[in-house]
Amino acid sequence: MAQGVEPVPGRPTPWREVFQGRRGRLTIGLLLLEALVAMEALVVTTILPDVRDDLGNVQLYGWTFSAFALATFASIPIAGRAADRWGSTKPLTVMLLVYVAGLVVSSLAPSMAIVVIGRFIQGSGAGALYSLSLGTVAKTYPKRMRPRVLALLASMWILPGLLGPPIGAAIAANFGWRYAFIAPLPVLLIAAFLIFPGLASAKLETDDTVRLPIRWPVQLMIGAGLVLAGLTYLSLWSAPLLVIGGVIAVPALLRIVPRGTLSARRGLPAAAAAAFLLSASFFAVDAFVPLMLTEIHGLSLGLAGIVITLATVTWSAGSFWQSKRASTMPLGRLVRIGVTLILVGTLGVATGLITGFPVAVSYVGWALAGLGMGIAFPTIPLSVMNEAEAGNEAGELSSTLLMDMLGVGIGAGVGGASIALLRSASGEPTASGLAGAFLLGVVMLIALLAIARRIPGSGQAAPMDA
C-alpha cells in the first residue's frame, strides 16, 4: 500500500496498489507465470495432432492429457504443505525446474510414450505452480488486496485463449512441433526474475512441524488414474477399474482434504466440496459444447470454438466484478450469484439439443455461464485464504485446489462416459449423451446452491485489513 494511505472500509483496493513497490514486481511475475502456463496449455492442445502424426501410437493420444492431470493430483497438496514448511521460495524454485524438465523431455521425445512421460513431469510442475501461486497470494497479500490479484490472474487467460491456438499452429508449421514446448522458456525466466525478489523481501509465516504426506497424494493419483481410465476407455474393464480406483483413491482423499468435506461441513470442508462441485458441473458441459455445435448443428470447428472464447472473456469480466464486491458482500452470496448464472447458462446451452432452436441461445448461455464462473470460482479460494490459519495458508488452500482439479477431471470424465454410453445404447449421434452430461452439470449446480451458505465468510463481508 502506498505510504500514508489508509484503506477505506467498504471500498475495493485501487488497482495501482497491487503494482506498487516490491509487491508490484511479485504481482507482475505471478501474472506472467499464469499467462505462460495458460498459453502453453492451449498451444500444446493445438500442436498435439502434429505430434501424433509424427510419432504415431494414437492410442496414447488421450494420455498426454490424462498424465498431465493426474500429476497435478499429487503435486498440489505436496507443494502446498512444502510452502507452509519452508516458505514459497524453495518449493517454487524446485517446481519451476520440474516444469522446465517436462517441457524439455516432451520437446526431445523420440516416441509418443516419452511425450506422455514429459507431460506427466510437466503436470507435476504445473500443479505445484498453481498451488504455490495462490498460496503466495494468501501468504503475501493482505485480505483487501486478494480479490484484485485473483481477478488479474483470471484475466491472464484471455490473450492465451485468443492467441494460443494460432501461435501453436504457426510454430508447428514454420519450425516444427518440438519448438512449441520450449518457446515459453524465456518468459519463464523473466517471471522468475520478478517473483523471487518479492518473495525474498516478504516476511512469511512458516511452520517447520508441517508434515509432507507423500504417500497419500501418490495413492490418490494412482486411484484417480484408474477411475479416469474406467470412465474414458469404456470396456468390460471399466467397472472393475472404477471400483478398484475408488477403493484406492477415496481413503487417500480423506487423508488430504479437511474432515467433513464429503458432507460439506460448514467452514473449510464446505469450501473444498464447493470447489469440486463447481468445477465438475462446469466442465461436464464446457468440454462438450463445441461437440454439440459441430455434430448437431453442423457448424465448423472454428465457429464452434468461438463459444469457448466467449466464456473465457466473460469469466474474466465476472472476476473483475467480483473483485469489487468481495470486501462488502458475504462470500456465500457471491457464490450463489455465480452458480445461478451458470445454471441459467447451462439451461441455455441445452436448448442447442433441440433441432430448429436458435443456436445463438447456446452462445449467449455459455457466455453467461462463463460470467458466473468468474464470480464463483475465485470466491471459493478467497474464502479459504481469509479463514486459513497463519503459517498454514498454502496447505489448507491446496485441499480446495485439489478438489477443484478433481472436479475438472471427474466432470469431464463422467460427461464423456455419459456420451459414450448413451450414444452406444440409443444409436443416435450424440444428443442423448450430451443431454446426460448437461443434466449432470445441472444436478451438481443445484447441490452447490444448497451448500454455498456453509463456506467461510458467508455470514458477513470479508474483513478489511491494512
CATH for 88: 1.20.1250.20
| Domain assignment of residue 122, yes or no | yes
Query: Is residue 373 scored above 90 in pLDDT?
Result: yes
Q: How would you class 265 by CB atoms within 10 Å of its CB: exposed for 0-12, middle for 13-18, buried for 19 or more?
A: middle
> For residue range 148-182, what is the model confidence (pLDDT) as tens digits?
898 888 888 877 777 777 888 788 888 888 998 88
Cα–Cα distance for residue pair 37/124, rounded to 1 Å:
13
> For residue range 393-440, what is the model confidence (pLDDT) as tens digits?
888 888 899 999 888 888 888 887 777 777 655 555 578 888 888 999
pLDDT score at 460: 54
Cα–Cα distance for residue pair 346/282, rounded to 1 Å:
8
Which residue from 245, 219, 200, 206 is spatially nearest to 395, judged by alpha carbons?
Answer: 206
Res. 464 pLDDT band, cuts 50 70 90: very low
Cα–Cα distance for residue pair 152/319, rounded to 1 Å:
8
pLDDT score at 201: 62
* Whether 330 and 373 share a structural domain: yes
* Whether 144 and 235 share a structural domain: no
* Whether 174 and 219 share a structural domain: no
Mean predicted confidence (pLDDT) in 245-271 = 93
How many other C-beta atoms are found inside a 10 Å radius of the C-beta of residue 281?
A: 29
pLDDT score at 106: 93
pLDDT score at 461: 52
| Domain assignment of residue 7, yes or no | no
User: Amino acid letter at 326?
Assistant: A
| Domain assignment of residue 105, yes or no | yes
Q: For residues 268 and 300, which has the higher predicted lDDT (pLDDT)?
A: 268
Res. 281 pLDDT band, cuts 50 70 90: very high
Q: Which of 82-86, 96-100, 388-392, 424-428 is predicted least confidently?
A: 424-428
Three-class SS of residue 6?
A: coil
- Decide: 137 and 87 in contact? Cβ < 8 Å: no
Res. 57 pLDDT band, cuts 50 70 90: confident
* Whether 188 and 53 share a structural domain: yes
* Whether 195 and 250 share a structural domain: no
* Whether 105 and 243 share a structural domain: no
Rounded to 5 degrees, φ, ψ at 154 are -65, -35
Cα–Cα distance for residue pair 409/123, rounded to 1 Å:
13
DSSP 44-103: HHHHHHHHHHHH--GGGTTHHHHHHHHHHHHHHHHHHHHHHHH-SHHHHHHHHHHHHHHH
| Domain assignment of residue 250, yes or no | yes
Phi-psi region of 267 (alpha: psi -120 to 50; beta: other; left: phi over 0): left
How many other C-beta atoms are found inside a 10 Å radius of the C-beta of residue 200?
A: 11
Query: Is residue 10 scored above 60 in pLDDT?
Result: no
Query: Is residue 213 scored above 80 in pLDDT?
Result: no
User: Amino acid letter at 120?
Assistant: F
* Whether 199 and 300 share a structural domain: no
User: Amino acid letter at 309?
Assistant: T
- Decide: 165 and 38 in contact? Cβ < 8 Å: no
Query: Is residue 119 scored above 80 in pLDDT?
Result: yes
| Domain assignment of residue 330, yes or no | yes
Which residue from 108, 132, 112, 101 is spatially nearest to 33, judged by alpha carbons?
Answer: 132
User: What would the grid cell of residue 84 be?
Assistant: 507452509
Q: Which of 59-63, 318-322, 443-447 is predicted least confidently?
A: 59-63
pLDDT score at 331: 92
* Whether 338 and 249 share a structural domain: no
Cell 510437466 belongs to residue: 122
Q: pLDDT over 90 for what percent of the chain?
A: 35
Query: Is residue 264 scored above 90 in pLDDT?
Result: yes
- Decide: 255 and 244 in contact? Cβ < 8 Å: no
* Whether 316 and 420 share a structural domain: yes
* Whether 250 and 169 share a structural domain: no
For 169, residues 6+ apart whose C-beta sits below 8 A from its C-beta are 46, 47
User: What would the grid cell of residue 77 be?
Assistant: 497438496
Mean predicted confidence (pLDDT) in 221-228 = 89
User: Amino acid letter at 80?
Assistant: G
> For residue range 333-362, what is the model confidence (pLDDT) as tens digits?
999 999 999 999 999 999 999 888 899 999
Domain count, the chain: 3
pTM for the structure as a whole: 0.83
Q: pLDDT over 70 for what percent of the chain?
A: 90
| Domain assignment of residue 374, yes or no | yes
For 21, residues 6+ apart whose C-beta sits below 8 A from its C-beta are none
Measured between alpha carbons, how far apart are the two ends of the chain, in Å? Answer: 8
Q: For residues 125 and 13, which has the higher predicted lDDT (pLDDT)?
A: 125
Give the domain range for residue 392: 264-466
* Whether 382 and 242 share a structural domain: no
Using alpha carbons, list the distances in angstroms from residue 338 to 352, 364, 385.
Answer: 22, 16, 19
Count CA within 13 A, CB hemisphere, residue 87: 13
pLDDT score at 207: 60
pLDDT score at 319: 92
Q: Which helix (H) or strand (E) holds 148?
A: helix 146-155
| Domain assignment of residue 325, yes or no | yes
* Whether 298 and 164 share a structural domain: no
Query: Is residue 6 scored above 50 in pLDDT?
Result: no
| Domain assignment of residue 77, yes or no | yes
Using alpha carbons, list the distances in angstroms from residue 424 to 166, 173, 231, 421.
Answer: 35, 37, 14, 5
